């Protein structure tokens, strides 16, 4: 499939077309093969690309180089699933067609899943598919600032964390916000903030920040660092850095509105991925294109069994707590 698929050709335009395209798992597999191997079969064992293969009777493909057998769903979030792929496709469609996102309980009710545990696992697996590896870096004019997610004592001010989690946000755009990147961080030190900018912003871009000392090193890395000292300029933060503060406000509103604020800090990274996915595609004319992009990500994401998801949550929470104690 091309990088710019057409509605009704590369992806379904509506729910009825989705049902017509994917009446069973065989049709789902063919679609995933076009999506994942449209430019040539790639062996996940030896790394050979378009080096030849045989179609096996059980639906697997055998690599002509190493003779290993694989399927398009092996090594993806679909690996080992006992649920029909048509249900996964329905879940992906439902997730992207709810503009504000869905909860695991909502997914369970709509799809008639047997347990909340299954819906929770599916929801988090799909979140992990929302950010493709090797994304294009932000460029041009980029605003960077931090915000705080969670409950904080009213006595805590400034950049002190208290009981909040720190999220650093970068927003591309001069006249209006375009693409966004965000990450949970454990502190606002120079190395932490510089690493975030280096990971998400192309060299040579204009990076706009406030005068916090954590951004002092940005100019060393071939960025045009523009600093606004709000104490001397008199401008409030939402005026000096309007795009990043708009995105921070929308993020908090989304967390409160869609999830009633009930987001575990242990899973916050993946909620940030979902918000980024939705924000960066907010102008998509067809919701089916988001379905297409989500399935692209699903084929690129690694398997995440339920036990692993739970373990990641616990480990992430311990790391967050450890980071807070070290400040």
User: What residues in the chain have per-residue pLDDT under 70?
Assistant: 1-3, 58, 150-163, 230-238, 258-266, 312-327
What is the structure's pLDDT at 1? 43
d(CA 302, CA 140): 32
What is the structure's pLDDT at 294? 96
What is the structure's pLDDT at 152? 41
What is the structure's pLDDT at 170? 98
Per-domain boundaries in the chain: 1-39+77-128+284-327, 41-74, 141-264
What is the structure's pLDDT at 262? 56
Classify domain 141-264 by CATH number. Answer: 3.30.420.10
Over residues 6-21, the pLDDT tens digits come to 999 999 999 999 999 9
pTM of the model: 0.81
What is the structure's pLDDT at 153? 39
Contact 240, 270 (CB under 8 A): no
What is the structure's pLDDT at 256? 80
What is the structure's pLDDT at 45? 86
């Amino acid at each position: 499939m091309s990088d710019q698929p057409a509605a009704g050709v590369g992806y379904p335009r509506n729910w009825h077309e989705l049902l017509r395209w994917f009446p069973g798992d065989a049709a789902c597999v063919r679609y995933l093969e076009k999506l994942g191997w449209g430019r040539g079969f790639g062996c996940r064992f030896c790394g050979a690309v378009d080096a030849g293969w045989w179609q096996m009777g059980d639906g697997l493909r055998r690599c002509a180089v190493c003779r290993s057998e694989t399927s398009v769903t092996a090594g993806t979030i679909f690996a080992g699933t006992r649920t029909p792929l048509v249900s996964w496709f329905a879940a992906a469609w439902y997730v992207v067609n709810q503009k504000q996102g869905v909860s695991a309980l909502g997914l369970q009710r709509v799809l008639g899943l047997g347990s909340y545990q299954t819906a929770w696992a599916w929801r988090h697996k799909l979140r992990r598919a929302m950010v493709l590896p090797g994304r294009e870096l932000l460029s041009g004019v980029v605003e960077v600032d931090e915000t705080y997610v969670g409950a904080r004592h009213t006595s805590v001010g400034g950049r002190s964390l208290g009981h909040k989690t720190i999220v650093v946000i970068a927003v591309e755009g001069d006249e209006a916000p375009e693409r966004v990147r965000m990450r949970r961080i454990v502190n606002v030190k120079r190395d932490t903030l510089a690493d975030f900018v280096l990971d998400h912003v192309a060299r040579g871009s204009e990076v706009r920040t406030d005068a916090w000392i954590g951004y002092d090193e940005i100019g060393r890395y071939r960025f045009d660092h523009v600093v606004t000292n709000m104490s001397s300029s008199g401008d409030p933060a939402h005026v000096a850095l309007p795009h990043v503060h708009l995105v921070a406000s929308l993020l908090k509103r989304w967390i409160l509105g869609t999830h009633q604020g009930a987001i575990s800090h242990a899973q916050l990274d993946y909620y940030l991925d979902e918000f980024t996915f939705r924000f960066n595609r907010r102008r998509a004319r067809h919701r089916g294109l988001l379905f297409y992009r989500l399935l692209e990500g699903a084929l690129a994401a690694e398997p995440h069994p339920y036990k692993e998801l739970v373990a990641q949550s616990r480990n992430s929470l311990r790391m967050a707590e450890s980071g807070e104690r070290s400040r």
